Amino acid sequence: MTETKPISRSLTIWGGLLALIPSVASALASMAGVAVEAGEVSGVLTNITTAVGGILAIIGRARATKLIG
């Protein structure tokens, strides 16, 4: 693995960022003093977003042929 690619073309990075979105959004809302209802729909969306992001990161890592550079 000697070739490189930009970080924006990494499926692993995109998957990791997607998995982080629910946590970051919750933390930012909390810091801003916004009360967020933890209803069923938001819980399901959080779980789906995190799971899809994790799966993308794993697939991206398994398929990687170039270094990020």
11-37 residue pLDDT tens: 999 999 999 998 888 888 888 988 777
The structure's pTM equals: 0.76
Please, which pLDDT band fits residue 2 given cuts at 50, 70 and 90? confident
Per the model's pLDDT, the better-predicted residue between 40 and 57 turns out to be: 57
Helical H runs in the chain?
11-31, 40-63
Gap between the Cα atoms of 40 and 48, Å rounded? 12
Gap between the Cα atoms of 36 and 50, Å rounded? 18
Mean pLDDT over each residue of the chain, to the nearest integer: 88
